[in-house]
Chain A
Amino acid sequence: TQLLEQSPQFLSIQEGENLTVYCNSSSVFSSLQWYRQEPGEGPVLLVTVVTGGEVKKLKRLTFQFGDARKDSSLHITAAQPGDTGLYLCAGGWQGGSEKLVFGKGTKLTVNP
């Protein structure tokens, strides 16, 4: 069973602080996706990384895929209250079927 472990599980910070959340696995994935999920809604895709060592930036969010394609990180610079939410990582395999394995998520709260 492929498992994705996310850490920390909960994170509460003040507006303006930086933070990093982690997604780790013993399995190799062909792609790693990060989602954000609001209460009562479905996950919304933020980014997909597919190449080992890849770094992608989305405004204040920086995503990195580990060289061995087993882990990933999400770094948020100068967090804002609007960043509050559940951040999920999900690993996928090639083959046409997007069966994703999700982590349990990091629940981020940014206090004003």
Chain B
Amino acid sequence: EPEVTQTPSHQVTQMGQEVILRCVPISNHLYFYWYRQILGQKVEFLVSFYNNEISEKSEIFDDQFSVERPDGSNFTLKIRSTKLEDSAMYFCASVANTGELFFGEGSRLTVL
């Protein structure tokens, strides 16, 4: 069964460092998303991406964040200068024609 895959599964970084989280969405899906979940809190929408551009973003998705689909398969989330409060699980998701959202298993980011 096709699935959304994310790497790395866990990344530890120092505050101020750049981080890139990678996702391979399901191949025939057209919409891609990043969500995050701070430990013990709700899953929060960050950004949606369609046709090689951002279609919607939340207040959380400030200038420190960017997304890219560099090669037609990978979908990346970059955090330019990480802060302690960026520590969270980051989930990539893609949407099937049925409207069903498929989530990856997440990348845990720990900022020290």
Contact = CB atoms under 8 A, between A and B. Distances in A.
Interface residues of A, number: 21
Given A43-B91, A96-B31, A96-B50, A101 B45 contact: yes
Contact of A98 (B42, B95, B108): B95
Contacts of B44: 102
A31 B100 CA distance: 11
A40 interface: yes
B25 interface: no
B60 interface: no
A74 interface: no
B45 A100 contact: yes
Contacts of A42: 4, 91, 93, 103-106
The secondary structure that dominates the A interface is loop
B55 interface: yes
Contacts of B101: 33, 45, 98, 100
A44 B106 CA distance: 12
B48 A88 contact: no
B103 A90 contact: no
A50 to B, nearest CB: 9
28 contacts: A31-B99, A33-B101, A40-B106, A40-B108, A42-B4, A42-B93, A42-B103, A42-B105, A42-B106, A43-B91, A43-B103, A44-B103, A45-B100, A45-B102, A48-B100, A90-B43, A96-B50, A97-B55, A98-B31, A98-B33, A98-B93, A99-B45, A99-B48, A100-B35, A100-B43, A100-B45, A102-B42, A103-B42
Interface of A: 31, 33, 40-45, 48, 88, 90, 96-105
Given A33-B101, A101-B45, 20 more contacts: A40-B106, A42-B91, A42-B105, A44-B103, A45-B100, A45-B102, A48-B99, A48-B100, A88-B42, A88-B43, A90-B43, A96-B55, A98-B93, A99-B45, A99-B48, A100-B35, A100-B45, A102-B35, A102-B42, A103-B42
